[in-house]
Amino acid sequence: MRAKARASGVIFRPHVKTHKTVEIARMQHGGAVGPITVSTLAEGEFFADAGFRDITYAVPIALEKLDRAAALARRIERLNLLIDSEPALRALEKHGGPFDVFLKVDCGYHRAGVELSDPRGMTLAAEMARSLAVRFRGLLTHAGHSYHARNAEEIRAVARQETACLTRFRALLSTIGIGDLLRSAGSTPTMSVVERFDDVDEIRPGNYVFYDAFQATVGSCRRSDCAVSVLATVIGSYPDRGEAIVDAGALALSKDLGPDHIDPHFGYGIVCDLDLHPLDVRLVALSQEHGKLRAKKPPAVGEQLRILPNHSCLTAAMFDTYHVIEAGRIIDQWHPVRGW
Amino acid sequence: MRAKARASGVIFRPHVKTHKTVEIARMQHGGAVGPITVSTLAEGEFFADAGFRDITYAVPIALEKLDRAAALARRIERLNLLIDSEPALRALEKHGGPFDVFLKVDCGYHRAGVELSDPRGMTLAAEMARSLAVRFRGLLTHAGHSYHARNAEEIRAVARQETACLTRFRALLSTIGIGDLLRSAGSTPTMSVVERFDDVDEIRPGNYVFYDAFQATVGSCRRSDCAVSVLATVIGSYPDRGEAIVDAGALALSKDLGPDHIDPHFGYGIVCDLDLHPLDVRLVALSQEHGKLRAKKPPAVGEQLRILPNHSCLTAAMFDTYHVIEAGRIIDQWHPVRGW
C-alpha cells in the first residue's frame, strides 16, 4: 500500500485503529514514523508518546474532548480534527484554537459528513475558510459503502465515486475562492482494488494491514493475504448433531456478522487449519466464551483451530497481546492501546 | 436473587463474568466473599487473589489449561471444573488430580453437555464416579435456550425443563449407585421468573446483576431494573435523513443484535434520556467508533445520551472502568479483570 501511494505521489496516512500498536505503525512506514490516522484520542496520545508527530483524528470530535485534543495538538507537529457541522465549528471558535481541521464529506456512505448536493456544506466550508479558530486543511471522506459491495468490480465503482466527490467539492469551493485543500480518501476495499491513486492527495486505509474474512469475501484481497487469526481449542465435540464447541466466543472474536449481504449464513469467521473444505465448517453461534461450529465431521476435543475473524479491527481490539509468528514460531509479542 | 436463593435453601453461586469486579461479587454476597462462577481462568485467578475460595469454572476446560487450573485449585478451597467428554476425563486422569468436577448436562440448549437420552452420558458419569482423578460433585446445566423465549411464560416453561432434566438425570444415576450429586442450574431468565428455586441445589445466574435491553424485552425484568449503561455524545446530526451519529460504536457497545427474534429491527441497544418515546429512536448501525441513530427528530451535536446495551456482559467487558453512580453523582470507579 505504501509503495502504491509513493508511486501515485499521494500522502500515505494509514489508519492505525486496526492494530493499535507502535510496531505495526512503524512497519507501515517502512520502519520509521510517518503520518497516521486514529479513531480515538487514546490512540492519538499513545502514538504521540511513541514519536508520531502528524496525526488525523478521523471521527467528528465530541465537543467535551476539545481540551484534551488541544493538549495533544500542542505536543506534536499537527493534529487534524474533523468536523461536519456548525455547532462543532462554533465550539472550536469558542475554545480558541487554532485547530487544523478537515471538513468531513459524505461521498455516499451516509454515516457522517456534508453532502455535495447540500448548499449548507458550502456555507460551512466558507465559514471554516474565514474562521480564525481553524486552519482549513482539506476535505476528508470515507467510502464505507464499499463494504456493501459483492465483488471487486462493485468496489471499483465506489472508488470512482469516492475520489470524484472530493474533486468536485474542491472545484466548487475554488469557485468561491477557497483553494489549497487536500483531498483525503480512505477505505480498505477501494484502496485495495485500484491500480493507482488518481484524483486524490492522501489515502488512509487501515484494515489492509491485516485484512480478514470479510475483505477476502468482498474481493479486497485473497484469503491467504489475511494476517491475523485467533487460535482456539475444541472443548466439546458432538458428532451426532454435527457440532463442536471452541473456547473462542464473542469476547475473543466479536459478534460481527461479516459479509452476510453475500452469504446470510456466513458465520462468525472462517475456520482454517482443518483437513476440511472451509465451507464444510461454519462458526454458527457465539456466546461470551463459547463458539459453536457446525461441520459434517466435527473436530475432536483438544484439537486446535485457527479462525480468521470477520472484522480484524474488532477482533484485535479484544486482546492485550499479539503473538507475532514467523515460520511457525512466536518471535515477538506486541501490545495494543485500548480505550478512548 | 440472594434472598430468593436463601429462602429456597439453595447454594447461591452467582456468575461473575457479567461484571468481572471484586466489588460487585462481594455485593452479590451481601458484602462478603462466597461461592462464585467464572468463565475464564483469568477471572478465577483474579477472584482468588481477592479472597474468593470456592469457584466453579463453568466452561468445559481446554486441556492445555489443566496445569494452570491445578495451580489455581491448590490456592483455594475448591475449584470445580466442568467436563462432558471421555477425552477430557482421560486428560484429567493423565494429569493426576484429584480435581473437583461437575458433569455438564444439556437440558435443551444444545451448546455443551451430555443429553439425558444418550446412554453415553450415563457411561461417562459412571467412569467419573469410579475415577481416582476426579471428585464427582454434581450435575451442572445452563438453560441458554431461555434466551430464545419471547415472554415470561415461555421462560417459565424452560425453567421447568432445566430443573426437571437435572432431577431425572440424578435419579437415573442413583439407580446405578451414584449418589450425593448436586444439581446446579443457571440462566438469568429462568432464575428471574420463578418465585422460588425448587428441584435444584445450587443456582448460578450472572446477568441479573445488571440486566440489559435483551432481558427487559424477553421478560426477565423491567427496563427500569437495568443497572448499566453507556453514556455517549452526539457527534453528528442529520435531520434531513432523520439520523445522528454518537461516539459509541462496536468497541463501546459490542455488535450483539439483542432480541432480534422478537424484533428484527431492534437495533444495538435502547437509547434513554431523551424526551422521545424509546421506539422513536433506533441505534441502527455500529462501526468501530461510530453509532448511527435513526429518529424522527434526531438529537443535536453535543447532546449526551444514555444507551442501555443489548448484552451487558459483552458491553461491560469493553471498558477498563465502571463509573459508579448514586443519585446522579459518580461515587466510585471499579476495574474489571480482562483476558483469559
Q: From residue A184, give the alpha-carbon distance in Å to each of A32, A129, B13, B318.
A: 22, 17, 54, 31
pLDDT tens figures, A219-247: 999 999 999 999 999 999 999 999 999 99
Confidence class of residue B277 from pLDDT cuts 50, 70 and 90? low
Contacts of B39 in chain A (CB under 8 A): 288-289
Kindly report the pTM of this predicted structure.
0.96
Q: Is the pLDDT of residue A277 over 60?
A: no
Q: Which residue is associated with the grid cell 472462517? A: A270
Alpha-carbon dihedral A280, A285, A287, A292, rounded to 10 degrees: -30
- Least-confidence region, from A20-29, A108-117, A232-241: A108-117
- Report the Cα–Cα distance between both ends of chain B, in Å, rounded: 27
Contacts of A58 in chain B (CB under 8 A): none
β strands within chain A, DSSP E: 11-12, 36-38, 54-57, 78-83, 99-106, 114-115, 134-140, 182-185, 202-203, 230-238, 243-246, 270-272, 281-286, 291-295, 304-308, 322-326, 329-334
Query: Cα(A3)–Cα(B147) distance, rounded to whole angstroms?
Result: 50
Query: Hey, is the C-beta of A88 within 8 angstroms of any chain B C-beta?
Result: yes
A62 vs B292: CB contact, 8 Å cut-off? no
Query: Hey, is the C-beta of B129 within 8 angstroms of any chain A C-beta?
Result: no
The pLDDT, as a whole number, for residue A279 is 58
pLDDT tens figures, A318-331: 999 999 999 989 99
Residue type, B236: G
Query: Hey, is the C-beta of A84 within 8 angstroms of any chain B C-beta?
Result: yes
ipTM over 0.85: yes
Query: Hey, is the C-beta of A257 within 8 angstroms of any chain B C-beta?
Result: yes
> Cell digits for A15?
489508519
Q: Which residue is associated with the grid cell 465530541? A: A62
Confidence class of residue B272 from pLDDT cuts 50, 70 and 90? confident
